[in-house]
Amino acid sequence: MNSYDYNGRVAAITGGANGIGAAIAERIVASGGRVAIWDMDISAPESRVASLSDAVCVMVQTDVSDLASVEAALAATKAAFGQVDVLVNSAGIAGPTSTVADYPADMWRKVQQVNLDGTFHCCRAVVPGMVARDYGRIVNVASIAGKEGNPNASAYSASKAAVIALTKSLGKELAKSDIAVNCITPATAQTRILEQVSQEFIDYMRSKIPRERFVTVEEIASMVLWMASAENSFTTGAAFDLSGGRATY
């Protein structure tokens, strides 16, 4: 397992109480960093997060779809740890499995509010501090769906495509400073988000992956750990593939 130096670094991780975000939080703490978990539900975090001491981890109840809630989370994180050097936007929802013709309009808006607006809100909040310190690493969790579009998942696919575009735009805006903005485009991982979709859809998603299995959250965390480290000093505005061979570009 590769190790990166996170001593003195503070990471804010949205959706960090479970799944992908929790695995990333665990690895950053193991590498010497401190983490702030920004999550809607902090009542039952995964054991890998629950076991972290208060000295290295704070839990902040946060609704990323609400800018005021994100700004309050940033203030709480600064009060605990002083700054945010790393932002990982992992919070997301799948939305219903439905054709475009039948997709509930309210759920379309909800998916965009969490997946896209939430990513924007968090970037908007932390970037000024990163610019002031001339250092920052932002990793947005997009999806292979944002590249290819999954049938019966139009809202999710559209939101993740927009996250990829937002990543590229912000990466170019900040390219003259020591701030890297990148995203990952993983295939499906076995996390709680699958509870929101049908078994038929889950089976379909697995069948699309040449490795014939889902990516693990630990595999995602391994890639993110480098992307969010000081060693990633050149690459920005990029989308990193984690699709098990599914991606064609």
**Region 237-241 average pLDDT:** 96
| pLDDT value at 203 more than 80 | yes
| pLDDT value at 196 more than 70 | no
pLDDT-derived band at 198, boundaries 50, 70, 90: confident
Residue 173 lies in a domain: yes
Domain limits for position 25: 10-242
Q: Is 249 a catalytic residue?
A: no
Q: Round to whole Å and give the CA distance between 40 and 60.
A: 8
| pLDDT value at 246 more than 70 | yes
Give the phi and the psi of residue 92 in degrees, each rounded to 5: -170, 160
Against a cut of 0.85, is the pTM above it? yes
Residue 68 lies in a domain: yes
Residue 2 lies in a domain: no
Q: Which long-range contacts (CB under 8 A, 24 or more apart) does 50-53 make?
A: 52/25, 52/26
CB-CB contact of 223 with 183 (8 Å)? no
Q: Round to whole Å and give the CA distance between 174 and 195.
A: 37
Predicted confidence at residue 194, as pLDDT, reads 66
Residue 248 lies in a domain: no
Q: Round to whole Å and give the CA distance between 203 and 30.
A: 34
**Region 134-146 average pLDDT:** 97
| pLDDT value at 192 more than 80 | no
Higher-scoring residue by pLDDT: 183, 211: 183
Residue 41 lies in a domain: yes
pLDDT-derived band at 197, boundaries 50, 70, 90: low
Residue 44 lies in a domain: yes
Residue 144 lies in a domain: yes
pLDDT-derived band at 66, boundaries 50, 70, 90: very high
CB-CB contact of 115 with 93 (8 Å)? yes
Helix, coil or strand: residue 204: helix
- Using CA atoms, how far residue 141 sits from 42, 87, 112, in Å, is 20, 11, 14
| pLDDT value at 249 more than 80 | no
| pLDDT value at 124 more than 90 | yes
| pLDDT value at 1 more than 80 | no
Higher-scoring residue by pLDDT: 213, 192: 213
Strands (E), the chain: 10-14, 34-39, 57-61, 86-89, 136-141, 179-186, 239-242
Catalytic residue among 4, 135, 156, 204: 156
As for how many domains the chain has, the answer is: 1
Residue 67 lies in a domain: yes
Higher-scoring residue by pLDDT: 64, 1: 64
CATH code, 29: 3.40.50.720
Predicted confidence at residue 195, as pLDDT, reads 72
Q: Which long-range contacts (CB under 8 A, 24 or more apart) does 59-63 make?
A: 59/17, 60/36, 62/14, 62/38
pLDDT-derived band at 208, boundaries 50, 70, 90: confident
Predicted confidence at residue 55, as pLDDT, reads 97
| pLDDT value at 125 more than 90 | yes
For 59-79, letters b (16+ CB in 10 Å) and e give bbbbbbbebebbebbbebbee
Q: What percent of the chain has pLDDT over 90?
A: 84
Q: Round to whole Å and give the CA distance between 172 and 68.
A: 26
pLDDT-derived band at 202, boundaries 50, 70, 90: confident
| pLDDT value at 205 more than 90 | no
| pLDDT value at 30 more than 70 | yes
